[in-house]
Structure 1
Amino acid sequence: MARFHPLRVTAVDRLTDDSVALTFAVPPELREEYRHEPGQHLALRRTVDGAEIRRTYSICSPAPQPGDDGPRTLRVGVRMVEGGAFSAYALKEINVGDDLEVMTPAGRFTLRPAPGLYAAVVGGSGITPVLSIASTLLAREPAARFCLIRSDRTTASTMFLDEVADLKDRYPERLQLVTVLSREEQQAGLPSGRLGKERLTGLLPALLPVGEVAGWFLCGPFGLVQEAERALRGLGVARGRIHEEIFHVDAGSGSGPAAAAPAHSMVTARLDGRAGTWPVHEGETLLDTVLRNRPDAPYACKGGVCGTCRAFLVEGEVRMDRNFALEPEETEAGYVLACQSHPATEKVELDFDR
């Protein structure tokens, strides 16, 4: 089960005018709980005027080595979001020495280091989990190579610019770095402009042998990830080799038509070895119903993006408003996002422990 613990902020590093990196110290007794795979994320929690606010941020630091005692520090990148209740707090108010409530790592946008060629297409803050993935892979696996294609507006708005440059200097023969700026011309490299399906369809085969890539990692705004997936599928890449994590999804993106839930629906949920059954109120998601009775139910974004609230559908049927977190094989296996699920039958049973 994911749990929150207070962690001390040991560094607040300004990355760009609108982004920072936060570093947390992990005490020895919690290091095993915060052991993470490269690409996972943390949920940060604060309470404002009695209301709880949670936001999810990817870990950018390398994953700990197998067999060690876990991470001594954790680092995440935070970019300002217009009207963002947590990002504004992070950029303007968090200081070294503050204690923040941090959930233990979650997420399946991960890579277990292995020999081979891997590649990523990222936009904006989508670099954050991929920085962890690439740095961990190249450090652990001498027979691995990585191609990083990143899109940003301008050089000044590029997060982790120095960290990526250092990684390139450390592994010049095994890390291929391609930068595209949408609003600024570069002295060398690719012309400026947006990375869409047509451009990627021509660009990717010119950069690397597309069919030999063992895993593609797409991360960033919904539009970029969608266009990159379409380009890869058009180039014959199997869906199982494409891994996606979405940032900055518009409210209406992916939403299906609203459907009325059956009257008197009940949900049974198993969580941390205990089960309960409760009525679903009109308009509630299944996560909302569970949270009314089990405040310890796991969630972070409530937007269908992070996957923290993933649960196995044991019985009944549900309708998901949208899904940007689960892979097709996960939904086929019976997993749903509780934060986006509404009952389609009078009885629904979820298992958060599977």
Structure 2
Amino acid sequence: MFHPLRVSEVEPLTDDAVAVTLAVPPELREAFRHTPGQHIALRRRTERGEEIRRTYSICAPAGPDPALRVGIRLVEGGEFSTYALKELAVGDTVEVMEPTGRFVLEPRAGYFAAIVGGSGITPVLSIAATLLIREPTARFCLVRSDRTVASTMFLEEVADLKDRFPDRFQLVTVVSREERQAGLPSGRLDRERLTGLLPALLPVADIDGWFLCGPLGLVSGAERALRGLGVERGRIHQEIFHVDETPSAAAAPAARGARAAADSTLTATLAGRSGTWPVREGESLLETVLHSRADAPYACKGGVCGTCRAFLVSGEVTMDRNFALEPEETDAGYVLACQSHPATAEVELDFDR
């Protein structure tokens, strides 16, 4: 569900990024209470009447009085990010969906680590800050990669964590496009480099949870490095912040079924109500639902955010790509409605599970 929220602050972070804070009225505090790592979808209508939705992770620590602060980086050709950087101002109203997402860490004792690239710092900032504030024995190691120091988002916030928790927060920074006089040599954090770097930084086997966030290449390389170092799949959590528009070998279809089916019908349950509709040729199951149910949950429509996750009750589907669901979720029967097409004559989805 979307709610109109007032913009209370727009803070420049870099030349191409801002932090936007949204005021949450008392009657909506419960609705916008978030778990560290979750995201919100923002919606606006253009002058042409088109609806644009984009998801942005909450960077503020989680607490009883939810602070909705998100980081937005300019994307070339991005309609919402261009609007946010060039037009959005204090006092404006933005439609905001309630927090969602499973790239989260409920604060608990332990030793945790994150590998992030670029704007992938956003959800991890909330995760790390909330953990360190709430759990006096917890430890956190942040390995972050950025193009340059000037392009690094949330420099002050990360430095503050280092000052407040010097014995429990470890920061390792790598830049890929400029030389530095101190610290690690510049260059990309790929699989080979991380395989050598991580064991020198921390006891890899003792880390209770790894959080990988950023572009597809960095996240994929980091996961392969960790798996090669013996880390169990269940301890690795990941969220992709950017993928190419064209599916690639890295985005092999996560299929439940082998081929598309013609003349299919979809039955879907959403917010306690069910309906059955014919699936038009070439459209996704999300698009089928949206013809009759404008409240169907979605944000990116690119298989990245996971907002449209639904349980496959019956039938089979094929997914064009999947960057949001963990293997255990697809094994349990969940699919991304925005990427799913029917592979049987009848398909049933449940968005409420």
TM-score (norm 1): 0.96
Distance 1:281 1:165, change over 3 A: same
Are residue 20 (structure 1) and residue 13 (structure 2) matched? Answer: no
1:188 CA displacement = 1.3
Question: Structure 1, residues 255-298: CA drift from partner, whole Å, max 9, x if none?
Answer: 54998621210000000000000000000000000001101000
Alpha-carbon distance in 2 for matches of 1:264, 1:293: 18
Write the letter of the residue equivalent to 1:143: T
Q: 1:44 aligns with which of 22, 42, 46?
A: 42
Unaligned stretches of 5+ in structure 2?
none
Alpha-carbon distance in 1 for matches of 2:168, 2:270: 43
Question: Structure 1, residues 308-331: CA drift from partner, whole Å, max 9, x if none?
Answer: 000000000000011111111111
Matches within 5 A, 1:40-189: 40-48=38-46, 49-64=48-63, 68=64, 70-71=65-66, 73-189=67-183
Alpha-carbon distance in 1 for matches of 2:82, 2:59: 20
Alpha-carbon distance in 1 for matches of 2:178, 2:134: 35
User: Cα RMSD (Å) of the superposition?
Assistant: 1.2
Alpha-carbon distance in 1 for matches of 2:338, 2:254: 16
CA contact (8 A) 1:57 1:78 kept: yes
Unaligned stretches of 5+ in structure 1?
none
1:22 CA displacement = 0.1
CA contact (8 A) 1:265 1:280 kept: yes
Write the letter of the residue equivalent to 1:166: D
Alpha-carbon distance in 2 for matches of 1:186, 1:107: 36
CA contact (8 A) 2:146 2:176 kept: yes
CA contact (8 A) 1:261 1:282 kept: no
2:282 equivalent in structure 1? 283
CA contact (8 A) 1:287 1:339 kept: yes
1:299 equivalent in structure 2? 298
The count of aligned residue pairs is 347
Question: Structure 1, residues 118-152: CA drift from partner, whole Å, max 9, x if none?
Answer: 00000000000000000000000011000000000
Are residue 308 (structure 1) and residue 307 (structure 2) matched? Answer: yes
- Deviation above 3 Å: which 4+ runs of structure 1? 255-260
Where 2:83 maps in the other structure, the secondary structure is helix
Where 1:190 maps in the other structure, the secondary structure is coil
2:333 equivalent in structure 1? 334
Question: Structure 1, residues 224-279: CA drift from partner, whole Å, max 9, x if none?
Answer: 00000000000000000000000110012315499862121000000000000000
Alpha-carbon distance in 2 for matches of 1:211, 1:269: 43
Alpha-carbon distance in 2 for matches of 1:166, 1:85: 32
1:103 CA displacement = 0.5
CA contact (8 A) 2:219 2:240 kept: yes
1:336 CA displacement = 0.4
Are residue 194 (structure 1) and residue 188 (structure 2) matched? Answer: yes
2:265 equivalent in structure 1? 266
CA contact (8 A) 2:253 2:318 kept: no
1:187 CA displacement = 2.0
Alpha-carbon distance in 2 for matches of 1:38, 1:331: 23
Write the letter of the residue equivalent to 2:282: G
Alpha-carbon distance in 1 for matches of 2:268, 2:208: 37
Q: 1:31 aligns with which of 24, 29, 32?
A: 29
1:246 equivalent in structure 2? 240
CA contact (8 A) 2:115 2:144 kept: yes
